[in-house]
Chain A
Amino acid sequence: MPDVRLVNVTKTFEGGRIVAVDHVNLYVRDKEYFCILGPSGSGKTTLLRLIAGILEPDEGEIYIGGKPMRGIPPEDRDIGYVFQTFALFPHMTAWENVTYGPRARGWPEEEIERVGREMLELVGLYERADAYPRELSGGMMQRVGLARALATGASLLLLDEPLSSLDAKIAFELRYEIRRLVKGLGRTAIHVTHNQAEAMAIADRIAVMRRGRILQVGTPQELYMKPNCIFVAHFVGESNFLEGFVEKVDERGSLVRLRGDLIVRVEGKSLSVGEKAVLGIRPEVLSLETNGTKRENALPGTIERVMFEGVITRYEVRLDNEDLIVITAPSMTAKPLKPGDRVMVCIPSEKVFLFPYPERGLKEELAVE
């Protein structure tokens, strides 16, 4: 039962000057494919190393399968670790790499043979068993790395950005393959990445991490639909952020006054009248009208830029109050608009996120280091 529980785990470096992991509480269920998503430098690798036992926490406790892990060295934790840079031993062949774990544990020879073969076949590289890492492509190396981590039968797999050293196309294929293998073998996986699309595509649940802290844990849908803070709305998917003050709260939601006295109605009513607020609006929920009339949640503006990006087209609109807002629409059905055109930006009130204005300012809140 390899569930993983982190209680108040903290790790600092350089005598406490760098707080890499800051009082993290986390629960990863048995057989779950769990992603930790965060910008680089947010402490993801440190967190994974703590779970692996490569580092010891300054504070807090880590439980794997219910057992406290303090003082237990990595070799006794029954884990598999997949590295961003693969870390295949360069002086050993693919076969020797994959069977290293079983050999280090002193398994009987026929068992080692069986597992080595099984694992290399699983990742489709049995024919390349005698190749040295330098003779393999990046994708192959990572497959061997995966086979190596799986070969000891460890029920907890830790993956540290396993795809980010690979070409985009190969990374795209391999992400589904990894999930399929892990799920097929019934292992628990903690997969660390800075790529939100990757996390969304393969995770059962995701924890968003920033500056050593966990901001939100949830399914990909939850994170996308109901981000609990500005940073998550910004980092998972994409959002416009507009500043304003809460003007009125009624049974249908709140009215927020933006700069230039534009009023936007939103469904949320978590803030009280007079509070400073930030509206988070995903570009894909907005629509543009060319000859709309003045009505609620239709804000007048001028197209400033049009960017064709293939599947979608992106419009930057300068609202009449000088705020800039981005709208995306499927290219095939988009209206032919050009810079200078006058438009109305229509905001669906039920799809706007309402956040309190962050203490340290919006810019600081959005920084991804």
Chain B
Amino acid sequence: MKLDTRKIEKLLSRPTCRLACDAAALIFFILVILLPTVFLFAFVALRWDEVVFFVFSNPVSGDIRWWRMLNAIAISFEVAAIATAIDLAVGLPIALILARYEFRGKEILDSLVDLPLGVPSAALGLSLYLFWGTSDGLNLLTRGFWLIVLTHVTFTFPYIVRSSVGVIEGVDRTYEHAARTLGAPSFTTFRTVTAPLSKAGLIAGSILAFTRSLGETGATLVVAGLVETAPLAVVSMHQRRLIGPAAFLSMLLVLLALGLLAVIKVVSEKVGIPIKRVWPGLERKLSGRKPRIARDIASLSFFGLMILIPSCFSISCTVNHWDSVFYEVFLAPDEKWKVLVDSLVTSFEVAAIATAINLIFGLAMAIVIVRRPWRRFCSVLDTITDMPLVIPTAALGFSVYLFWGPRGLGLVNTGFWLIVLTHVAFTYPYVVRTLVAALKGLDPSLEHAARTLGAPPFMAFRTVVLPLISTSMLAASILAFTRSLSETGATIVVMGTARTVPVLVVMWSEAVGYARYAAAFASVLLILVCYGLLLALRYVAKR
């Protein structure tokens, strides 16, 4: 028996098996991720006449759609820029607190920062709307531009803080000690040493926040009111069957996002933080105890009052109005609880299937990227696997729909399986990213040791590599699972008659009457599941 497994593993270690595995990874990537994601471009090119007809020279509306699109894009970019700027202003001090101070309760602050990540964006939008815009909360802001900005600040905030804490912690404290002993006060030290050394990471974090904001749909739908951002425009055009214009706008959005990224990359490499000059008097003042405490208090209060409390407000709202909530969900004549149960099942099924598929093919892809000797090719792969990250999910969902749906290959119709395919596409980068990092961090000599001890390659992989990256696999699964569970934009475009919970939250919060209480209830369910999973992820990652 023993010998048999060895035989099988030897067989599985043969180059042909490896080749088959690599090929499967690549084919999956091209067919399920890459082509559906970029099919948009082909579609626009093929249907250029239609685009021109609807967008630029419509007999009825002329080029008014074009101007509307430009307007929507401008709003999207404005929102993203303002949100990212606020994130940086508030997030950097908090990142510094987390990375550099030791205090009791640090663990708690650390996990609270992640809370908005664990709140599905539609639920988050609802929560903020309830907090700012209804009589249940403060009733200060109506749906519109500034509520959109606040919402985007809230869900992009964790990205900035997380990535900043990571890079700042990565800067060896000895450099800071050196600067201090050389006579630089703390502010000068941060500006001339810590910040330049973490520049790349800070920019990467900002880009992540910016693109997330640019492509967000779910939360924006809830809080937008009459304002239309570009992803909302895509969704609404799709709903009105204006396929050509929707595709065209999606393409514009993708191109602009990519272009902007390139510009930021180039500019940030050229322009550095000034490290030559020092203004001892001013910087000494800024380094003092008082400015520092003032800064810490300001950023922590902003975080608490503008981000934390609004994002869980739906929980308190559900508790406070439990009678109405209970009536809306369980007693109201339209029997919302049945729909809710159905969509819960759908949401979890989609998330589970998408995660499982991505784990298998993502691992194969990560192996190709890290282990295969085709350096150039691998680094190109490494870059393009990230592409779905910068594409607004509504546009991505739309593209997937065009590719598989009746207008493209005609293989999959809107509904459950198209939702799965879409979710596979946008959660893929999370899985590959995590596994690539894990594989890269692995000492190759461990595997060599196993080989010299007589293990065929497959066995070495199974007994050495797999156990060592299992934590990362779990982390990747949870990440993909929560991302899928909380997605709205991409789902709306491809769902047909199927429903997921975030979509329900959006629909109910837009509905008249007190359906928003049912939405609050649904989003509390989502929040509990997602944040719970996220805490589990933190626990796993710590171990």
Chain B positions within 8 Å of A91 at CB level:
196-197, 275
Residue of A nearest to B182 (CB): A101
Q: Is the CB of B177 within 8 A of A103?
A: no
Assuming the A-B contacts A75-B184, A91-B197, are A96 and B174 also in contact, with contact meaning beta carbons closer than 8 angstroms in the complex?
A: no
Check B180 for interface membership: any CB of A closer than 8 A. Answer: yes
Q: Is the CB of B193 within 8 A of A106?
A: no
Check A65 for interface membership: any CB of B closer than 8 A. Answer: no
Q: Is the CB of B183 within 8 A of A101?
A: yes
Assuming the A-B contacts A90-B197, A91-B197, A91-B275, are A100 and B182 also in contact, with contact meaning beta carbons closer than 8 angstroms in the complex?
A: yes
Q: Is the CB of B177 within 8 A of A74?
A: yes
8 Å CB contact of B174 from A80, A85, A100: A85
CA A149 to CA B184, docked complex, whole Å: 13
Q: Is the CB of A100 within 8 A of B280?
A: no
Least CB distance, A285 to chain B, in whole angstroms: 43
Check B360 for interface membership: any CB of A closer than 8 A. Answer: no
Q: Chain B 266-281, CB within 8 Å of chain A: the 1/0 string?
A: 0000000001111111
Check B107 for interface membership: any CB of A closer than 8 A. Answer: no
Report A214-241 residues with CB < 8 Å from chain B CB.
none
Report A111-163 residues with CB < 8 Å from chain B CB.
148-149, 152, 158
Chain A positions within 8 Å of B183 at CB level:
75-76, 101, 104-105, 152
Check A54 for interface membership: any CB of B closer than 8 A. Answer: yes
Check A292 for interface membership: any CB of B closer than 8 A. Answer: no
Check A83 for interface membership: any CB of B closer than 8 A. Answer: yes
Q: Is the CB of A87 within 8 A of B280?
A: no
Q: Is the CB of B280 within 8 A of A106?
A: yes
Assuming the A-B contacts A89-B193, A91-B197, A104-B278, are A81 and B178 also in contact, with contact meaning beta carbons closer than 8 angstroms in the complex?
A: yes
CA A157 to CA B40, docked complex, whole Å: 65
Q: Is the CB of B174 within 8 A of A83?
A: yes
Chain B interface mostly: helix
Report B263-305 residues with CB < 8 Å from chain A CB.
275-281
8 Å CB contact of A104 from B175, B177, B179, B281: B179
Check B188 for interface membership: any CB of A closer than 8 A. Answer: yes
Residue of B nearest to A77 (CB): B181
Check A186 for interface membership: any CB of B closer than 8 A. Answer: no
Q: Is the CB of A106 within 8 A of B278?
A: yes
Check B457 for interface membership: any CB of A closer than 8 A. Answer: no
Query: How many inter-chain residue pairs (CB < 8 Å) link A and B?
Result: 83
Check B172 for interface membership: any CB of A closer than 8 A. Answer: yes
Q: Is the CB of A100 within 8 A of B184?
A: yes
Check A319 for interface membership: any CB of B closer than 8 A. Answer: no
8 Å CB contact of A54 from B177, B276, B277: B177
CA A92 to CA B196, docked complex, whole Å: 10
Assuming the A-B contacts A79-B181, A96-B275, are A104 and B174 also in contact, with contact meaning beta carbons closer than 8 angstroms in the complex?
A: no
Report B209-263 residues with CB < 8 Å from chain A CB.
none
Q: Chain A 36-74, CB within 8 Å of chain B: the 1/0 string?
A: 000000000000010011100000000000000000011
Chain A positions within 8 Å of B182 at CB level:
75, 80-81, 100-101, 104, 148-149, 152
Assuming the A-B contacts A96-B275, A103-B278, are A89 and B184 also in contact, with contact meaning beta carbons closer than 8 angstroms in the complex?
A: no
8 Å CB contact of B275 from A74, A81, A92, A152: A92
Residue of B nearest to A91 (CB): B196
CA A52 to CA B196, docked complex, whole Å: 24
Chain B positions within 8 Å of A77 at CB level:
181
Least CB distance, A17 to chain B, in whole angstroms: 15
Q: Is the CB of A89 within 8 A of B175?
A: yes
Least CB distance, A359 to chain B, in whole angstroms: 36
Residue of B nearest to A85 (CB): B174
Residue among B183, B186, B277, B279 with most chain A CB within 10 A: B183
Residue among B182, B184, B186 with most chain A CB within 10 A: B182
CA A87 to CA B277, docked complex, whole Å: 21
Chain A positions within 8 Å of B280 at CB level:
104-106
Chain B positions within 8 Å of A49 at CB level:
177
Check B185 for interface membership: any CB of A closer than 8 A. Answer: yes
CA A12 to CA B249, docked complex, whole Å: 62
Least CB distance, A50 to chain B, in whole angstroms: 12
Least CB distance, A84 to chain B, in whole angstroms: 9
CA A233 to CA B192, docked complex, whole Å: 47
CA A91 to CA B198, docked complex, whole Å: 11
CA A109 to CA B197, docked complex, whole Å: 25
Least CB distance, A144 to chain B, in whole angstroms: 12
Residue among A52, A75, A90, A96 with most chain B CB within 10 A: A75
Chain A positions within 8 Å of B281 at CB level:
106
Chain A positions within 8 Å of B184 at CB level:
75, 100-101, 104
Residue of A nearest to B197 (CB): A91
Residue of A nearest to B173 (CB): A54
Q: Chain A 296-335, CB within 8 Å of chain B: the 1/0 string?
A: 0000000000000000000000000000000000000000
Shortest 6 CB-CB contacts between residues of A and residues of B:
A106-B280, A101-B182, A104-B184, A81-B181, A74-B180, A87-B174
21 residue pairs A–B, Cβ–Cβ below 8 Å: A53-B181, A54-B181, A73-B180, A73-B185, A79-B181, A81-B178, A81-B182, A87-B177, A89-B179, A89-B197, A91-B197, A96-B276, A100-B179, A100-B192, A101-B182, A104-B183, A104-B280, A105-B183, A105-B280, A149-B182, A158-B181
On B, residues with C-beta under 8 Å from A are 172, 174-175, 177-186, 188, 192-193, 196-197, 275-281
